[in-house]
Every structure is written in structure tokens, then in C-alpha cells.
A = this chain, B = another copy of it.
Amino acid sequence: MSKEITQPDGTCHVVITGGAGFLGVRLARSLLTQGQLSLAGAAPANIARITLVDRAAPPDDVMADPRVTALTGDLNSLLEQKEAPALVVTGQTAIVFHLAAAVSGECEVDFDLGMRSNFAATLALLEACRALQTKPIVVFASSLAVFGDTAAQPLPAVIEDNTLPTPQSSYGIQKFIGEQLVADYTRKGFVQGRNVRLMTVSVRPGRPNGAASSFLSGMLREPLAGVRAVCPVAPDTPVALSSPARTVQGLILAAEASEQAWGPRTGLNLPALTTTPGEMAAALERVAGPAATALIDWTPDPAISNIVKTWPARIHSVRARGLGLLPEESFEDIIREYIRETPSAVVLGNRSQ
């Protein structure tokens, strides 16, 4: 199987859509570091090339690696190209990590944008992979958003592997349709698809954004940079989170698991740690001292609070556990990881020692 998708010299070529995004870059760095991939359970193949497909340019440190190339442009437009060098996938492509997507808020505001960026692009990518006739691996980044929210439709208290998704957003619908397409293209033998449902990621680096979940990173990230931050929900609101590292680990495991170990074509729920903003703040205080937590303003915002309360907060990922993917044991570990990786956070983190 891997014979067809690896190069004659035994190396492999990797494509990451959304490759200049937060997770795409992080995935690229991890792959460059490990240097090899066991494609769907095959013997490890050296990674000879990683193509980062994105509208934005990847950061310089990643581009400095001779194995990395960037393909810059709109994914839908690129997928309409029929000739090199603008091809997203080629006969040399062993695996595609399909992370590119318009985000939830955008898709609610602009329905057609979401249908184009999340749905049509995924279908076009699968068609491009099918046309190769090499059965490349496609790791599809789906989302916890497929489960919708409890305000619109009751959800079980705990999300199990076989819980029925009832998406309540265009983003969730488009991700769930993507899963179905990946499943059937896999069943038909056009690709080797792996549907992975990503959890809410914290701590995300960078700046606050308009997402209702933004505070779940901001209430840690901002204080660790000496900046005030707001927690707009009650301290005891349960939330399900995963670290960036654990999320990338899940994507790589999806690529490396054998077909048998991976199991059904249904989306796999990555593990998530169930915690609360109160526990997160306590963890922050243990790691970075009261000076950090003093920067959190507990200012309830009913609008955000009402949204967050409807999100599934307990994910029971038996399938992921069977593959060796476990949730973090404590939010403290996640904060320590963030501090290790973030120069601007170290200052305050050290201050509390």
C-alpha cells in the first residue's frame, strides 16, 4: 500500500492545507523534527518534502528548512489548476493533512464562503487525490463543532464515540459532510481517509479573536504576558480542551495508525480534558503566581456565557484511548507547555518562581 505512495527511494512527500495556520505550522514543525512518517502503519519513510498550501506565507523558520516548499493562494483556485507547479497534490503526494477551513464565525456570516472554503474545497481535494490513482492518505481535520449545541438540540451529558452529531452551525454541517465524503472516498478505495475531530485548543498563541472561545486561551495567554484578560463565564462552567501539542499528536497518529488499528471511517473524537475556568485560573496561579491570576477580570458576559454553556464539555474518547491518545491530566501541564514554548510568557512565569 505504502509502496505506491512513497518515492522510489523510500521517502515521502507531505502536503498540509492551511499549512501557514497555527496548527499547520505546528504540524509541519513536528514532522520536520521527527523526520519520518509511518504511513498508515508501514515502515517509517523519511519525509523528503512538505508542501504548505495556504493563502498566507508560512513563517521564515519553517521555510528555511530545505524540505519545505510553500504553495500560496486560494485553495479552491489552486485545485482548479491542471498543471505544475501550482498543483496541490501530485503523483508524488503520499499524504495530505487537510486543515484549511473558513472558521465557524465566518461561515455563519457568509454561508457561500463556508460552502466554498469548507465543502467545495474538500470535495475538489478528494477528487484531485482520486485522480492520482495512488490512494494517498487524507487526514481530514473535522471538529467537535459537528455535535452542535445543547440549546438547539439536547445532547447526551457525555459525548461518546457513537454519539449522533447534530450540527447547529454551517461550519459544523460542512465538517460533518466532509467526514462523509472522506469516508466514502475511502470505502471506494480512492484515498486512505482518516476523519479526526479536533477539540477546542488552548492555549492558542497570538491575539484574541472574535470567537466565543477566545477567552479560553486569552485568560491564560494575556496574564502570562502581563496583560489583563477577561473571563466572561462563571468559574464553574465546564469546558473541554486540548493542548496544541496533543492536537498535533492526534493528527500524526491518524496518519500513522494502520487501517486495522484506526478502525471505522466514522470521525474519531480526539481526547479532551474537562476543566473549568476556575480550575484553569487555579492552575495558572500554581504555575505563574497570584500576580498572573490578578490580571483576570471575572466579568460575566451573558451572550458569551450562554453560548459556552451549550458546548459539549465531556468527551469520552474510548477509540482514541485505544490508539494511545489520552487527554492531558491537568491544565497545569498545558500551561507549563505553553510557557516552555512562548518566550514572552517566560518572563512572568519566572517572576513567580
Q: Pick from A21-29, A57-65, A165-173 the stretch touching chain B.
A: A165-173
Contact partners of A184 in chain B: CB under 8 A: 167, 170, 173
Distance in angstroms between the alpha carbons of A265 and B176 in the assembled complex: 15
Nearest Cβ in chain B — how far from A101, in angstroms? Answer: 16
Distance in angstroms between the alpha carbons of A264 and B167 in the assembled complex: 11
Contact partners of A177 in chain B: CB under 8 A: 177, 180-181
Distance in angstroms between the alpha carbons of A183 and B166 in the assembled complex: 9
Q: Is A77 an interface residue (CB 8 A)?
A: no
Q: Is A188 an interface residue (CB 8 A)?
A: yes
Interchain CB contact under 8 A, B153 and A170? no
- CB closest residue in chain B, given A163: B164
Q: A164-B162, A264-B166 are in contact. Are A188 and B111 (CB under 8 A)?
A: yes
Nearest Cβ in chain B — how far from A182, in angstroms? Answer: 10
Q: Is A187 an interface residue (CB 8 A)?
A: yes
Contact partners of A168 in chain B: CB under 8 A: 187
Q: Is A266 an interface residue (CB 8 A)?
A: yes
Query: How would residues 167 to 210 of chain A score, 1 for a CB under 8 Å from any chain B CB and 0 otherwise?
Result: 11010010011001101100110000000000000000000000
- CB closest residue in chain B, given A173: B184
Interchain CB contact under 8 A, B188 and A266? no
Contact partners of A265 in chain B: CB under 8 A: 166
Top 10 A-B pairs, shortest CB-CB distance:
A173-B184, A164-B164, A162-B164, A173-B180, A177-B177, A177-B180, A153-B264, A170-B184, A166-B266, A176-B180
Selected A-B contacts with CB under 8 Å, 24 pairs: A111-B188, A153-B264, A153-B266, A162-B164, A163-B164, A164-B164, A164-B165, A166-B264, A166-B265, A166-B266, A167-B180, A167-B183, A167-B184, A168-B187, A170-B184, A170-B187, A170-B188, A173-B180, A173-B181, A176-B180, A177-B177, A177-B180, A177-B181, A180-B180
